[in-house]
Amino acid sequence: MKLNHNNCPVQATINTLSGKWKVQIVWRLSFGSRRFAELRKDIATVSEKVLTEQMRQLEKDGVILRKVTASNPPRVDYSLTTAGNDLVPMMQEMCDWGAKNFGITPSLKRPSA
pLDDT at residue 3 tops 80: no
Phi-psi region at 29: left, alpha or beta (left = phi > 0; alpha = psi -120 to 50): alpha
Please give the model's pTM, rounded to 2 decimal places: 0.86
Would you kindly state where each structural domain of the chain is located, as residue ranges?
A: 9-102
Whether residue 53 contacts residue 41, with contact meaning beta carbons closer than 8 Å, is answered with no
Q: Which amino acid is at 63?
A: V
- pLDDT tens, 11-23? 999 999 999 999 9
What tens digit of pLDDT does each residue of 8-64 get? 999 999 999 999 999 999 999 999 999 999 999 999 899 999 999 999 999 999 999
Q: Is the pLDDT of residue 83 over 80?
A: yes
Angstrom distance (rounded) from CA 25 to CA 88: 11
Report how far residue 31's alpha carbon sits from residue 79's, in angstroms, rounded to the nearest whole number. Answer: 9
Q: Is the peptide bond before 111 cis (omega within 30 degrees of 0)?
A: no
- Phi first, then psi: what are they for 64, rounded to 5°? -125, 155
Under CATH, which architecture does the 9-102 domain have? Orthogonal Bundle (1.10)
